Amino acid sequence: MPIDQQVHTITACESSCGPCNEIFHVNPPRRYLLVSPCRDEARYVHRTIESVLRQSVLPALWIIVDDGSKDATPGILAEYAARVPFIRVLTRADRGDRKLGGGVIDAFYTGYDTIDPADFNYVCKLDLDLDLPPRYFEILIQRMEAEPRIGTCSGKPYFPAPGIDGPVQFPLSDTSGFISEKIGDENSVGMTKFFRAGCFRQIGGFTRELMWDGIDGHRCRQFGWIAVSWDEPDLRFVHLRPMGTSHRSWWTGRQRHGFGQYFMGTSPWYMLASAAYRMTRPPRVVGGLAMLYGYFKSMVKGNPRYGDPEFRQFLRRYQWACLFRGKASATARLNERQRQLWDPSPSRGVIMRRESLKA
């Protein structure tokens, strides 16, 4: 086994002991798995873990994959693993730098591949720079129980306005001290990707490339599932580090988004419209310009695209509908049209192996 794939497991105790059985006991229909890739999250990890420990429905298992942290993250994780029975920590060797997109998903699968997916009803890729409201996972599960076609869902991220710091009062009804990241309603957000386990397996899981967190929602619709997120007080959470700022700078983050949109198969016209909208959000103007730079630079270089032509055709038809009808109307019409294709049975299988999802 390559050194960078070797892992070291830290657990509090064997699950056969009495105290652990009490904590591990979760009603079978609501058994959910959290997998958290992380790297150098010492500044935020306490707050994220404490917000999960306050959840009204606790995870059956939480695998945290330390992807070569150089700060105090490993020590903090070891402390929590020693006293919280459902937390398991895996450590990957340091790769030398934060590898976004595919690197994050590689770390995710380091954890996910150690479990039997059939043991869980739901699976969530959870970042460690969040502060979650106490009923967050309970409400998501309730929504999915009420609508069997929901394959993935989430709340909405807000980040603190400049100068705002400290504890958050949930539910987040008053957002005057926060800035919405303005994520569309047609997908779950990448920092809390909560999936119905059967849907996750059916679409082939996550793609190990940039825009993995956009491709998954479109593949859900391809298979007749619904991908959705809600902007409601009980589901609003705090993103302690705004999206697109985790690696070097705003410019790098937004440019990376443009790279990802090109890889996914987004059309130039839709990219122009998307970038124009993003120019109205912080950082104003320059964020949208960075997205366009990343997209057209990829086009000029002839970078590879997502390796499923049928998916790219499906995506572009949907994007054109969004431009002409508006995203809400286009999504609702597509969800209704795709209803006939929905088949949650395991026999439908995975159309493409995860490895084939790479270009």
Question: What percent of the chain stands above pLDDT 90?
Answer: 73
Q: Which of 196, 220, 246 is the last residue of a domain?
A: 246
Answer yes or no: do 181 and 280 share one domain. no
Q: What band does 313 get if pLDDT is binned at 50, 70 and 90?
A: very high
Q: Is residue 274 part of a domain?
A: yes
Domain-located, residue 357: no
One domain, residues 112 and 208: yes
For residue range 67-79, what is the model confidence (pLDDT) as tens digits? 999 999 999 999 9
Shared-domain flag, residues 220 and 264: no
Q: For 164-194, what is each residue's pLDDT tens digit?
A: 877 899 999 999 999 998 899 999 999 999 9
Q: Are residues 68 and 211 in the same domain?
A: yes
274 in the same domain as 200: no
- Give the containing element (helix H, strand E) for 179: strand 178-180
Pairing of strands 226-229, 150-154: parallel
Looking at residue 125, what is its pLDDT? 98
For residue 301, is pLDDT > 60? Answer: yes
Is there a single domain that holds both residue 124 and residue 230? yes
Could you tell me the pLDDT band of residue 305, with boundaries at 50, 70 and 90?
Answer: very high
Give how many domains the chain has, as a whole number. Answer: 2
Would you tell me how many other CB atoms lie within 10 Å of the CB of residue 183? 18
Return d(Cα 309, Cα 321) in angstroms, integer.
Answer: 19
Sheet holding 130-131, edge to edge: 130-131, 236-239, 156-160, 178-180
* β-strand partners of 91: 66
List pLDDT tens digits, range 2-11. Answer: 333 334 444 4
Residues 155 and 42 in one domain: yes
Quote the mean pLDDT of the chain.
87
Could you tell me if 156 and 291 lie in one domain?
A: no
The bridge status of strand 87-92 relative to strand 61-67 is parallel
State both tokens at 248.
């070097």
Q: Which residue has the higher pLDDT, 41 or 247?
A: 41
pLDDT confidence of residue 15: 38
pLDDT value, residue 96: 61
How far is Cα 33 from Cα 73, in angstroms, rounded to an integer? 21
Of 200, 230, 246, the residue at which a domain comes to its end is: 246
What is the CA 140 to chain-centroid distance, rounded? 14
Q: Which long-range contacts (CB under 8 A, 24 or more apart) does 327-332 make?
A: 327/184, 327/185, 327/186, 328/185, 331/185, 331/186
Higher pLDDT, 198 or 6: 198
Residues 17 and 160 reside in one and the same domain: yes
**Of 245 and 207, which is predicted with more confidence?**
207
* Predicted local confidence at residue 26, as pLDDT: 53
**Region 206-213 average pLDDT:** 93
Round the CA-based radius of gyration of the chain to a whole number and report it. Answer: 20
Residue 359 resides in a domain: no
Beta-strand pair 156-160/178-180: antiparallel
* The pLDDT of residue 213 is above 60: yes
Q: Is residue 193 part of a domain?
A: yes
Q: Which among 67, 11, 62 has a CA at the least distance from the CA of 35? A: 62
Do 238 and 257 lie in one domain? The reply is no
Residue 133 lies inside a defined structural domain of this protein: yes
Predicted pLDDT of residue 348: 67
Among 50-54, 289-293, 348-352, which is the least confidently predicted range? 348-352
Question: What are 169's two structure tokens?
Answer: 């009062």
In a domain, 287, yes or no: yes
Check whether 344 has a pLDDT greater than 80: yes
Average pLDDT (298-320) is: 95
Q: What are phi and psi of 256, to 5 degrees?
A: -60, -35
Band of the pLDDT at 258, cuts 50, 70, 90?
A: very high
Which whole number is the average pLDDT over 321-336? 97
CATH number of domain containing 228: 3.90.550.10
DSSP secondary structure of 270-304: HHHHHHHHHTTSSSTTHHHHHHHHHHHHHHHHT--
pLDDT at 27: 56
Strand order across the beta sheet in which 9-10 lies: 9-10, 87-92, 61-67, 32-38, 122-126, 192-196, 150-154, 226-229
State the Cα–Cα distance between residues 181 and 130, nearest whole angstrom.
Answer: 13
**Same domain for 168 and 196?**
yes
Q: What DSSP string runs through 92-121?
A: EPP-SS---THHHHHHHHHHHTTS-GGG-S
Compute the average pLDDT of residues 307-324. Answer: 95
- The answer to whether residues 85 and 155 belong to one domain is yes
Using the predicted structure, report yes or no on whether residue 160 has a pLDDT greater than 70: yes
Listed in sequence order, the residues at least 6 apart from 104 whose beta carbon sits closer than 8 Å to its beta carbon are 37, 67, 212
User: Has residue 332 been placed in a domain?
Assistant: yes
Confidence of residue 101 (pLDDT cuts 50, 70, 90): low
Structural domain harbouring 271: 250-346
- Look at residue 60 and tell me if it is in a domain: yes
Instruction: Indicate the residue among 246, 266, 299 that finishes a domain.
Output: 246
| Between 257 and 134, residue with greater pLDDT | 134
- CA dist 126 and 193 (Å) reads 7
The predicted model gives 59-87 an average pLDDT of: 97
